[in-house]
């Protein structure tokens, strides 16, 4: 009896080998000799866009469909700005529990205008498994910018600035300050708001606001801005009033002031040519009429207004001081005892002068001993005019009247000297021309 083959020998061998391998794989899995990483997929993302300085937030996660050969001990997502992130090479990872099933993850602090690559991951004793990779582009947003408060102000300008902290993922093409006498000024050529342009890109910048003297009593509002392809962002709003930062005399000269102890002093010498009632103070140029004068008068050092007015102010005889209305309304020429109050607050006569003097030798002669100007008083060596009409000691001495009269046609004053740190009280003929500093009432 003959038997007929029903299959090819090669097929029988292949099937036998496959069956053997499957049985071997199952046996080893049962014994724990072969291990499998978890199987999972990455969930779709939900993006919360960045707003101003708040970074974008992504909601995502994963689903573990099989734990493999061991329990999942940790799971989460990993991400990077380059493809194929892993737990080893990613910018960062989340950890979101353990075990099989769905989980959610939150990714924060992402940069606008940047593309990220995201994968879910899960670990067991065999290693780390990964889900599919997601590509998530983050849209750019408006820049992040801060405003600097006023650091310089005068009658016609105020200087501020700001800092662009982030370009929002798109280059900053313009930055600056906008201002107005109404709140919330904007950078728009179609509005009544004023604005400056101060460069491009990230970083700090300085801006100058131009003011009108007619707006001396107004309140100005200002804020920094920065623009990119998305739009314009604004920093915090600040405000200031020139009248609260400056003093204006009857001739519309402006002065800064500073609080020193319990007193508020002007930090520039007076240069008005009018009393605060609007009446004129006589200008006396020649020596003879200066010497013979016993009524109010003023002059400029060396009779040179152009060179000396804005630096050192005017020189007044004591008859101008004694009128009682030389300083702006609300201010007065300090008495000798008020000068003493200032001196005592600064450590006494031998130390106080240095704390009042402008530092350096731009105006004071070398060595300008002990000068720190820590008070901001910025005392300058404006010299003086003698009772005979001579101009003396510019650069050596600063001398300021008090309102306190002595006897025999003399009155008290204070002086500072380039060679020491003292502030000395003395008295001099009332026909002398000295500087004046005003004290707030």
Average of per-residue pLDDT across 46-72: 73
The predicted pLDDT at position 91 comes to 77
Please confirm whether the linkage preceding 367 is cis (ω < 30° from 0): yes
Of all residues in the chain, the percent with pLDDT exceeding 90 is: 68
Q: Is the pTM of this model over 0.75?
A: no
Average of per-residue pLDDT across 320-349: 97
pLDDT in tens, 114-131: 899 999 999 998 899 999
Average of per-residue pLDDT across 366-386: 96
If phi over 0 gives left and psi between -120 and 50 gives alpha, with beta otherwise, what is residue 18? alpha
Specify whether the CB–CB gap between 346 and 355 falls below 8 A.
yes
Q: Strand, coil or helix: what is 149? A: strand
pLDDT in tens, 155-168: 788 999 999 999 99
The predicted pLDDT at position 57 comes to 80
Read off the DSSP letter of residue 142.
-
The CATH number of the structural domain formed by 39-137 is 2.60.40.10
Backbone angles phi, psi at 18, to 5 degrees: -65, -45
Average of per-residue pLDDT across 356-374: 96
pLDDT in tens, 231-289: 999 999 999 998 888 999 999 899 999 999 999 999 999 999 999 999 999 999 999 99
pLDDT in tens, 400-420: 999 999 988 999 999 999 999
The predicted pLDDT at position 47 comes to 54
pLDDT in tens, 19-32: 544 444 444 444 44
Read off the DSSP letter of residue 328.
P
Decide the pairing of beta strands 74-80 and 92-93.
antiparallel
The predicted pLDDT at position 151 comes to 83
- The strand ranges marked E within 190-251 are 194-195, 203-210, 220-227, 232-234, 238-240, 247-248
The predicted pLDDT at position 24 comes to 45
Tell me how far apart the alpha carbons of residues 25 and 45 are, in angstroms, rounded to a whole number.
37
Which residues 6+ apart lie within 8 Å of 123 measured at CB? Answer: 38, 72, 73, 74, 75, 87, 129
The predicted pLDDT at position 153 comes to 85
Average of per-residue pLDDT across 82-89: 90
The predicted pLDDT at position 185 comes to 95
The predicted pLDDT at position 175 comes to 98
Residue 111 pLDDT exceeds 90: no
Query: Is there a shared CATH topology between the 39-137 domain and the 144-242 domain?
Result: yes
Specify whether the CB–CB gap between 56 and 47 falls below 8 A.
yes
Please provide the average confidence, as pLDDT, over all residues in the chain: 88
The predicted pLDDT at position 345 comes to 97
Q: Using 50, 70 and 90 to split pLDDT, how confident is the model at 217? A: confident
C-alpha count within 13 angstroms, C-beta hemisphere, residue 429: 14
Tell me how far apart the alpha carbons of residues 130 and 205 are, in angstroms, rounded to a whole number.
47
The predicted pLDDT at position 6 comes to 41
Specify whether the CB–CB gap between 139 and 112 falls below 8 A.
yes
Residue 137 pLDDT exceeds 60: yes
Q: Using 50, 70 and 90 to split pLDDT, how confident is the model at 45? A: low
pLDDT in tens, 167-194: 999 999 999 999 999 999 999 877 788 9
Return the structure tokens found at 310: 């804005």
The CATH number of the structural domain formed by 144-242 is 2.60.40.10
- Domain limits of the chain? 39-137, 144-242, 247-440
Specify whether the CB–CB gap between 287 and 388 falls below 8 A.
yes
Q: What angle (nearest 5°) sits at the alpha carbon of residue 81, between those of residues 78 and 85? A: 35
Residue 319 pLDDT exceeds 90: yes
Specify whether the CB–CB gap between 215 and 181 falls below 8 A.
yes
Of all residues in the chain, the percent with pLDDT exceeding 70 is: 88
The predicted pLDDT at position 43 comes to 61
The predicted pLDDT at position 155 comes to 77
Residue 33 pLDDT exceeds 50: no
In this structure, the number of other CB atoms found within 10 A of the CB of residue 420 comes to 15
């Amino acid at each position: 009896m003959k038997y007929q083959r029903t299959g090819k020998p090669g097929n029988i061998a292949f099937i036998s080998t496959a069956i053997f391998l499957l049985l071997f794989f199952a046996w080893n899995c049962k014994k724990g000799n072969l291990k499998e990483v978890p199987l999972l997929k990455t969930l779709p993302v939900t993006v919360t866009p960045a707003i101003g300085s708040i970074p974008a937030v992504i909601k995502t996660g994963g689903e573990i469909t099989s734990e493999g050969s061991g329990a999942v001990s940790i799971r989460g997502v990993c991400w990077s700005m380059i493809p194929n992130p892993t737990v080893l090479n990613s910018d960062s990872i989340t950890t979101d529990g353990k075990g099989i099933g769905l989980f959610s993850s939150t990714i924060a602090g992402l940069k606008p205008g940047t593309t990220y690559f995201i994968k879910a991951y899960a670990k067991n004793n065999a290693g780390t498994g990964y889900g599919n990779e997601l590509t998530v582009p983050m849209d750019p947003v408006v820049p992040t910018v801060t405003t600097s408060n006023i650091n310089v102000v005068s009658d016609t300008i105020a200087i501020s600035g700001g800092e662009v902290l982030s370009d929002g993922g798109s280059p900053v093409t313009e930055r600056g300050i906008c201002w107005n006498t109404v709140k919330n000024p904007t950078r728009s050529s179609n509005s009544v708001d004023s604005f400056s342009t101060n460069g491009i890109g990230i970083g700090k910048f300085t801006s100058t606001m131009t003011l009108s003297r007619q707006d001396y009593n107004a309140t100005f509002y200002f804020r920094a801005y920065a623009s990119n392809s998305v739009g314009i962002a604004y920093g915090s709003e600040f405000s200031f009033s020139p009248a609260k930062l400056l003093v204006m005399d009857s001739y519309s000269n402006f002065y800064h002031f500073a609080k020193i102890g319990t007193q508020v002093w002007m930090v520039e010498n007076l240069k008005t040519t009018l009393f605060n009632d609007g009446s004129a103070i006589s200008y006396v140029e020649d020596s003879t009429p200066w010497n013979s004068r016993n009524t109010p008068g003023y002059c400029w050092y060396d009779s040179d207004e152009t060179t000396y007015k804005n630096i050192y102010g005017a020189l007044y005889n004591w008859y101008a001081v004694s009128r009682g209305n030389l300083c702006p309304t609300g201010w007065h020429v300090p008495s000798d005892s008020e000068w003493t109050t200032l001196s005592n607050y600064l450590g006494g006569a031998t130390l106080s002068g240095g704390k009042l003097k402008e530092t350096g030798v731009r105006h004071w002669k070398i060595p300008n001993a002990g000068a720190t100007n820590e008070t901001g008083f910025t005392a300058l060596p404006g010299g003086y005019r003698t009772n005979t009409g001579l101009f003396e000691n510019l650069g050596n001495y600063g001398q300021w009247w008090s309102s306190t009269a002595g006897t025999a046609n003399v009155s008290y004053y204070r002086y500072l000297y380039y060679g020491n740190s003292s502030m000395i009280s003395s008295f001099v003929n009332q026909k002398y021309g000295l500087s004046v500093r005003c004290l707030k009432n």
